């Protein structure tokens, strides 16, 4: 059974999708052991507590140096004996100590079809604002491993979502979550927990 630690910053709808999948039995061979938030007021923490999941809060601004925060977060997650770290709307950049400690064991959900609308500055609603500004007709979500390149790690799963005329960033964000993020994130976690994801250089292969 793999130990899953979920890092959050906000509303936690992706965390909820993971909890629901776990409760339905759609995540086998893994369980969420702890939810760690960068924000003490994140609603995601309420969702975790309501489901009897342990919570922690760690804020980068409480550290004088980023390296100190990086080390503290790494040690906190290691103390939970994490086999897998899931970034579910985690809005703090991870440091190199953390990324090295959990190489190919950190999964992020990004609200666009990488390599579109990704990289530094592309997070949350901004991603959808940019997709609408550029006028793309299709967007979606990507579950990928995290490496030192922002949104540049090996892609695990992607799902496309149609953009409709009259979409606002908020409406589009909700559709991308419902149709893509809440589906592919639990699927990617389940694949990982069952050792079905093989990393080959910058890419992955899903084994059956
Ligand atoms: C989600 O749309 C997630 O994909 C995005 O933030 C939102 C968090 O919502 N993440 C990023 O933009 C990371 N670059 P949630 O807290 O309700 O899951």
Query: Could you give the residue numbers annotated as active site?
Result: 110
The residue whose CA has the least distance to atom 12 of ligand 1 is 123
Tens of pLDDT, residues 72-105: 999 999 999 999 999 999 999 999 999 999 999 9
Name the pairing type of β-strands 203-206 and 197-200.
antiparallel
pLDDT of residue 208: 78
The segments of the chain whose pLDDT lies below 70 read: none
Fold of 110-208: Rossmann fold (3.40.50)
The residue whose CA has the least distance to atom 9 of ligand 1 is 89
Residues forming CATH 3.40.50.170 domain(s) in the chain: 1-102, 110-208
- CB-ligand 1 contact for 70 (6 Å cutoff): no
* Dihedral (CA of 123, 177, 101, 103) sign: negative
Compute CA 136 distance to the chain's CA centroid, rounded to the nearest angstrom. 24
pLDDT of residue 112: 98
The residue whose CA has the least distance to atom 10 of ligand 1 is 89
pTM (whole model) above 0.95: yes
- CB-ligand 1 contact for 88 (6 Å cutoff): yes
Burial class of residue 135, CB neighbours in 10 A (0-12, 13-18, 19+): exposed
pLDDT of residue 40: 97
pLDDT of residue 193: 98
**CATH of span 1-102:** 3.40.50.170
């Amino acid at each position: 059974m793999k130990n899953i630690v979920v890092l959050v910053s906000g509303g936690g709808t992706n965390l909820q999708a993971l909890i629901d999948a776990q409760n339905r039995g759609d995540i086998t061979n893994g369980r969420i052991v702890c939810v760690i938030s960068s924000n003490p007021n994140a609603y995601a923490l309420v969702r975790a507590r309501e489901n009897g999941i342990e919570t922690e809060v760690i804020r980068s601004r409480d550290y004088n140096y980023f390296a100190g925060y990086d080390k503290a977060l790494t040690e906190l997650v290691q103390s939970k004996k994490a086999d897998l770290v899931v970034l579910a709307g985690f809005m703090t950049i991870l440091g190199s100590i953390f990324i090295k400690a959990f190489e190919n064991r950190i999964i992020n959900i990004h609200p666009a079809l990488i390599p579109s609308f990704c990289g530094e500055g592309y997070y949350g609603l901004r991603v959808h604002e940019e997709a609408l500004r550029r006028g793309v007709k299709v967007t979606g979500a990507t579950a990928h491993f995290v490496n030192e390149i922002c949104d540049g790690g090996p892609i695990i799963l992607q799902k496309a979502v149609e953009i409709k005329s009259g979409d606002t960033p908020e409406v589009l964000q909700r559709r991308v979550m419902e149709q893509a993020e809440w589906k592919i994130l639990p699927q990617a976690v389940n694949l990982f927990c069952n050792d079905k994801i093989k990393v080959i250089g910058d890419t992955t292969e899903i084994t059956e």
